[in-house]
Amino acid sequence: MAVEALALTNRLSRALGRGSGTVAGGRVGLALDPSLLSTLARGRRVALVSGTNGKTTTTRMMVAALTGPGSAAVATNDTGANMPAGHVSAMAGTLPGTDAVLEVDEGYLPRLVDETRARVIVLLNLSRDQLDRISEVRMLAERWRRSMEGLQAQSAPDGPGTVVVANADDPMVVWAGSPAPRVQWVGAGQVWHNDAVGCPACGGGITFGNEGEWGCDQCDFARPTLSAWLEGSVLVTAEGSRFPVDIRLPGRFNRANAAMAAIAAPFMADPDHDATSSGPPLTTALALSRLSNVDQVAGRFATRERKGHSVRLLLAKNPAGWTAVFDLFDEHPGDDAPVVLSINARVADGLDTSWLWDVPFERLAGRPVVATGDRRRDLALRLRYAEVAYTVVDDPLAAVDRAIEMRPSPVSQHAGSSEQEVADPIDLLGNYTAFAELWSRL
């Protein structure tokens, strides 16, 4: 009954144009049957993907990895509804028994772990994000850790158990994931260390080395032994296999997401999966080849044309995410195309804009910046103190047009020229709701 009410509400919600129709129905379903999440998860293989950054992309990549020609559909919450209402909607929309890959809000992960008996749990990273809403990083890591401790108790001795695939380069994730009975540690990288300087085990100081190794200076908390790691654009396994990570999505952080998805996906199909094994059902190499075709994720990294110029859409929600995008800019040195930055501080973004001061905007010096979004004033003030030249434009779409006007005259497109240069796209970077608005309007 709860499932029917859920489907009906979602149809109504879509018909009324009040959203993509995934959250309202889920809420109704859960209100009628509080155990709906566990009911729907029963009999399915479930993967949970959580972390501060990259969870939508990694979820999308896992779905791609599990979806081959002729393979069954996968239930997934690809509209970004990453709380239980979105999860029940995603599962209710598919046949019982269908595999599910669910993106999970960090705060809800323990509940999802309890209720879904997940086959695979992917832990990406933990850093400061929406501190007015989500618990502080350390409290969150503690809650994850208690949840992982619970896995020990819940896995039946003869059952397949849960495999945790966790980023070994983030000490907060290692602290959280360590108690799990089965962990695949992946050296996926983590540029942002500012939330993991104090040791979560003893309060000592964590020191990071040049080769990715790290450890506490007062206790034995340190990077665990890796099952796999990224070396530039190659995913290397402890057994010695080397898989090129040649994906369509840009940037180092996306290669990290791909590595996590490629290690995790095979465990969905076969809990005794061994990365070196060849043949069916799903190898790391096949997973990588499938997920490499993902070229945009709910608009992220998509390119749109506007007035003859290409505009690349980028989403970053917190200091670690923005830093990763600035790293992406650095992969194209000499790029001086204008950048449009849009900042909102609605509930989904976090109401406090202080985090803008943790973002190294100084790195944009030399590129023309257009500031927009609800909180363009906060952004402008931050840019002023970063001594980066900027223009404030109230309307986000008008801001894109201003950037187009600011761009040096486009490379003339000689008909028949074989060496036609492609101008760098205008980058448009927004936080959550600011990005969503621009994506829908472009």
Nearest distance from C-beta of residue 327 to other proteins, angstroms: 20
Could you tell me if 23 and 263 are in contact, meaning their C-beta atoms sit under 8 angstroms apart? no
Cα 187 from Cα 212, distance rounded (Å): 8
Q: Which residues pair with 340 in a beta bridge?
A: 370, 428
| C-alpha dist (Å) from residue 113 to 8, 147, 163, 286 | 27, 7, 12, 27
Judged by beta carbon, residue 95 or residue 365, the one nearer other proteins is: 365
Nearest distance from C-beta of residue 316 to other proteins, angstroms: 15
Half-sphere exposure of 321 (CA within 13 A, CB side): 24
Geometric angle at alpha carbon 267, from 58 and 118, rounded to 5°? 75
Nearest distance from C-beta of residue 204 to other proteins, angstroms: 9
Torsion of CA 65, 76, 152, 214, to 10 degrees: 60
Judged by beta carbon, residue 336 or residue 352, the one nearer other proteins is: 352
Nearest distance from C-beta of residue 396 to other proteins, angstroms: 17
Nearest distance from C-beta of residue 207 to other proteins, angstroms: 8
420 burial type by CB count under 10 A (0-12 exposed, 13-18 middle, 19+ buried): exposed
* Strand duo 120-123 + 46-50: pairing: parallel
Judged by beta carbon, residue 211 or residue 387, the one nearer other proteins is: 387
Binding site for other proteins (CB under 8 A): 128, 131-132, 136-139, 194-195, 197-198, 200, 203, 205, 217, 351-358, 377-378, 380-382, 384-385, 387
Tokens for 397, please give them. Answer: 């779409």
Q: Which residues pair with 50 in a beta bridge?
A: 104, 123
Judged by beta carbon, residue 312 or residue 382, the one nearer other proteins is: 382
Nearest distance from C-beta of residue 203 to other proteins, angstroms: 5
Tokens for 351, please give them. Answer: 């109401």
Nearest distance from C-beta of residue 150 to other proteins, angstroms: 21
Judged by beta carbon, residue 266 or residue 350, the one nearer other proteins is: 350
Judged by beta carbon, residue 198 or residue 215, the one nearer other proteins is: 198
| C-alpha dist (Å) from residue 342 to 210, 301, 328, 426 | 34, 15, 18, 13
Cα 149 from Cα 142, distance rounded (Å): 11
Tokens for 155, please give them. Answer: 């896995």
Judged by beta carbon, residue 135 or residue 296, the one nearer other proteins is: 135
Nearest distance from C-beta of residue 177 to other proteins, angstroms: 19
Judged by beta carbon, residue 248 or residue 384, the one nearer other proteins is: 384
Cα 92 from Cα 3, distance rounded (Å): 6
Could you tell me if 322 and 316 are in contact, meaning their C-beta atoms sit under 8 angstroms apart? yes
Alpha helices for 241-387 (secondary structure H) = 252-269, 284-291, 319-330, 376-386
Judged by beta carbon, residue 283 or residue 318, the one nearer other proteins is: 318
Judged by beta carbon, residue 243 or residue 361, the one nearer other proteins is: 361
**144 Cβ contact list (under 8 Å, min separation 6):** 106, 109, 110, 123, 126, 176, 177
Nearest distance from C-beta of residue 140 to other proteins, angstroms: 10
Nearest distance from C-beta of residue 322 to other proteins, angstroms: 12
